[in-house]
Amino acid sequence: MAASPVLARRLLLRQLGTGAGVFGTFLLPGAAAAVAATHPAPRYPGNGRRPLWYPPDEGPRSARRQPLPLVMLDPGHGGRDPGAIGVSGTYEKLIALEAAYELRRLLEATGRYRVAMTRARDVFIPLEQRVAIAQEHGASLFVSMHADALSHDRAVRGASVYTFAAHASDAQTARIAASENAADRFAGRAWHGAAPQVARILASLMRRETRVDSAHLAGRLVHSLGTEVPMLTNPERHAGFVVLQSAEIPSVLVEMGFMSNPADEAALRRPAHRAKVALAMRDAVDGYFAAAGHMMAG
């Protein structure tokens, strides 16, 4: 049997005070290349054919000024993984992608950031590869965007924000994390068994500063979203989400609502509502970087 293509990923696990770093090399299947070759890009009204992923605009090579911070947006699910399916049949993967495009537009319009996306069309990207993309491009923030479902309770609705922790803050969050982490069941045999080991390595090396910065961003997102959209009870939560386990990059996962709730699903289908969510998220990112700049200046 022919061997599957494999890519060697050299990931920065920990930055040392001397300027040196601790690196780990992981063998990852070349899933993105295979997907690009076998899954043609779908047509989107007004957008034409979207690329496999949205890379950062690095600007002219001759530029000597400090590059703008890179915000990595991660639209959840994709391709053969639809994510949550709403009560009227809406796919989470498409809602997440459209919301990410709107947030990308708003962030770029400020002129303060470079913005990249782990996927820019309807393709499947394994969870660990999403983290690898952010690490390889030196992202300053990682924002994963979702809209989950609770099959046992359609009354639950509202947005919420999650950061990484070894243990979930509550039973409902544990169920949501398990659902999101199960996305790699669509990845095929090559990924089975590899992701948990890599996730444990990254989680064990996560720096205190990364956790603190993730919590600061989560707090700003909860405050900003709460002024615009309905929020889940106790909306700032934590659990062991695989995509939040970067050792170096402050990372959050935003559930924009519940596809299992008819009101949330109907709202997320409306571009005007997604624009409202994206605007609130942009304001939170602005506030995060403004505070970070003030602290560094002080």
> Which of 98, 145, 147 minimizes the C-alpha distance to 258?
147
Interacting residues of 222 by C-beta distance below 8 A, sequence separation 6+:
160, 161, 231, 235, 236
Rounded distance, CA 78 to CA 104, Å?
A: 18
Higher-confidence position of 283 and 180:
283
- Residue 253 gets the label, from left (phi > 0), alpha (psi -120 to 50) or beta, of beta
Asked if residue 34 has pLDDT above 70, the reply is no
Q: Which of 121, 120, 235 is nearest to 172 (CA)?
A: 235
- In total, how many domains does the chain have? 1
**How many Å apart are CA 270 and CA 277, to the nearest integer?**
11
Helix (H) or strand (E) holding 178: helix 171-181
12 lies in some domain? no
Please check whether residue 59 lies inside any domain of the structure.
Answer: no
How far is residue 36 from each of residues 30, 52, 255, measured CA to CA in Å?
Answer: 10, 7, 27
Range 250-267 average pLDDT: 97
Give the H/E segment covering residue 203.
helix 194-204
Residue that has been written with the tokens 């062991």 in this structure? 240
What backbone phi and psi angles, to 5 degrees, belong to 10? -105, 105
pLDDT band for position 21 (cuts 50, 70, 90): very low
Report CA-CA distances (Å) from 58 to 53, 63, 65, 103. Answer: 15, 9, 12, 19
CATH assignment of the domain containing 261: 3.40.630.40
Q: Residue 105: is its pLDDT beyond 60?
A: yes
pLDDT of residue 264: 97
DSSP class of residue 65 equals S
Instruction: Pick the range with the lowest mean pLDDT from 52-56, 70-74, 106-110, 226-230.
Output: 52-56
Look up the pTM and report it.
0.77
Q: Best-predicted range by mean pLDDT among 12-26, 27-41, 187-201?
A: 187-201
What pLDDT is recorded for position 11?
A: 45
Q: Is 156 helix (H, G, I), strand (E, B) or coil?
A: coil
pLDDT tens across 172-221, in order? 999 898 888 887 666 544 444 445 555 555 555 567 889 999 999 999 99
- Residue with the two structure tokens 């169920």: 175
* pLDDT confidence of residue 152: 80
Residue 272 counted as domain residue: yes
**Is the per-residue pLDDT at 69 higher than 90?**
yes
Mean pLDDT value of segment 56-74: 75
Lowest mean pLDDT among 122-126, 186-190, 257-261, 282-286: 186-190
Q: Let me know if residue 9 belongs to a domain.
A: no
Q: For position 275, what pLDDT does the model report?
A: 98
User: What percent of the chain lies above the pLDDT cut of 90?
Assistant: 58
Q: What is the CB neighbour count within 10 angstroms for residue 9? A: 18
pLDDT class of 38 with cuts at 50, 70, 90? very low
Residue 273, Cβ neighbours under 10 Å: how many? 18
118 occurs within a structural domain: yes
Domain assignment present for 89: yes
For residue 258, tell me if it sits in a domain: yes
Owning domain of residue 136:
44-54+69-297
Are residues 254 and 143 in contact, defined by beta-carbon separation less than 8 angstroms?
yes
Per residue in 153-177, pLDDT (tens digit) is: 899 999 999 999 888 999 999 989 8
Q: Is residue 26 part of a domain?
A: no
